[in-house]
Amino acid sequence: MPNRRACPKSYRPAIALLLASAAWIPSAAEAQADFPPASPYPVLDDPQAQQGPAPAPAPEAVPLPAPMAEVVATAPQPSRFSLGAALAFTYRSETNSSMTIATPVLGGLVAITSNFLAEVVWGFALMLDSETSFTGRVGNPWIKGWYRNERGPLRWYFGLGITAPLASVDISPDGRTQRALYNQSAAVWGLWDDWRFRPDRMAVPIPAGLTYTVSSAMDATFEAALAPVIGVRQESGTDLLAQFALGARFLIANNFWICPRLQAVVLPSASVDRLQTAAGLRVEWTPRLGRFFLGALVNLDEPLGVFGRGDGIWSIHLGKELGL
């Protein structure tokens, strides 16, 4: 037999390493098939394949004490009390003089129940003339109770009130100026709620109103009131005042409304002109704190209006309203 040449001992370690490498290559290929290389765009990968370690469980919530849990679970209720203030003012100029009339009106409302409310309103009459002479008088406080309700798109209210006859004029040369101030103060409101500024008179007003909600962005309102008026002190006799108004509210922006209004007041029987009409326009802002407004009113016909031979009285109104 021919002699086979034996492998030198110095090559045996290299041959063993080569055989081990050849055996490892298939195992590595199988491992790469099971775990593909990571994508260069991990955001586009399947989220299931990109999940990291599971987050640690959140600690258990500490339970609220029972009284505090009731407070958190209960929805906030509307306030039982509401305060309001309004100011109407005008400027009048004549041949030899001028004057500024301002009539602030303060009010407070309390909800006895969800349907029954009580309210007090008190107006004041202020005048500053061109001779820097100041005159101020109190009006008649008006205390009233309300009932309100709603059904579907309709909301209505009616009430009963009485005025305290604090408005008065002095029996002196100043009495004429004081009476004129009361008349002008009522005029800047278009004679609406005229019993607030009638000197030496008390009244028993019976107001009512109806609102129809056309949509979430529009309301239509009708208001009316009757008031027997009784003379006190140097005044005597009884008369009847009546008033009614049509109005609307249109939503023009978030919490902002534009509100046109047309009103008419039936004057006392002794008046030469038996009807006084006025038109108003206001912008209202209705945040959670209440209803704030800025507007203007113009008397239309005689005796106070801009048409005919009326006095041409207009006014600016602003304030926070007590809304039913």
Name which residue leads in pLDDT, 46 or 26: 26
Please state, for a pLDDT cut of 90, what percent of the chain lies above it: 56
Residue 214 pLDDT exceeds 50: yes
C-alpha R_g of the chain: 41
259 domain-assigned: yes
- Tell me how many domains the chain contains: 1
34 domain-assigned: no
Least confident of 115-124, 135-144, 264-273, 288-297: 264-273
180 DSSP assignment:
H
227 domain-assigned: yes
pLDDT band per the 50, 70, 90 thresholds, residue 52: low
55 domain-assigned: no
The DSSP-derived string for 126-165 is: EEEETT--EEEEE---EEEEEEEEEETTEEEEEEEEEE--
In this prediction, residue 198 carries a pLDDT of 93
pLDDT band per the 50, 70, 90 thresholds, residue 71: very low
Residue 294 pLDDT exceeds 50: yes
pLDDT band per the 50, 70, 90 thresholds, residue 109: very high
315 domain-assigned: yes
Q: What is the CATH number of the domain that holds 231?
A: 2.40.160.40
Q: Are strands 218-231 and 256-266 parallel, antiparallel or unpaired?
A: unpaired
In this prediction, residue 62 carries a pLDDT of 53
43 domain-assigned: no
The pTM score is 0.73
pLDDT in tens, 152-164: 999 999 999 999 9
Q: How far apart are CA 83 and CA 102, in angstroms?
A: 20
180 domain-assigned: yes
Amino acid letter, residue 29: A
**What mean pLDDT do residues 123-132 have?**
87
**What mean pLDDT do residues 232-241 have?**
83
Please state, for a pLDDT cut of 70, what percent of the chain lies above it: 73
pLDDT band per the 50, 70, 90 thresholds, residue 1: very low
Name which residue leads in pLDDT, 224 or 49: 224
Domain extent, residue 126, equals: 81-321
